[in-house]
Amino acid sequence: MINPNNIYRIADVSGFTPQIGRLLSMTNYARHTTIQAVEGLGPQELDSSKKNPGIED
């Protein structure tokens, strides 16, 4: 299990090979920071199919 108190530490995860455990640690960090980044945003802000003003294709 990944300890949420050590979100910034890339470490082995019990029950997985060292390489997979480290990958899980990094993926968990990416998940945590993404959730923080979108917290409070509504559906219109999160909908990637809508054009964003100021961003060109």
18: CB partners within 8 A, 6+ apart: 12
In the chain, the percentage of residues whose pLDDT exceeds 90 is 39
Would you say residue 47 has pLDDT above 90? no
CA distances from 20 to 3, 12, 34, 40, 42 (A): 16, 8, 21, 32, 34
**pLDDT score recorded for residue 40:** 93
Rounded average pLDDT over 7-18: 87
25 burial via Cβ count (<10 Å: 0-12, 13-18, 19+): buried
pTM (two decimals): 0.64
C-alpha span between 7 and 46 (Å, rounded): 24
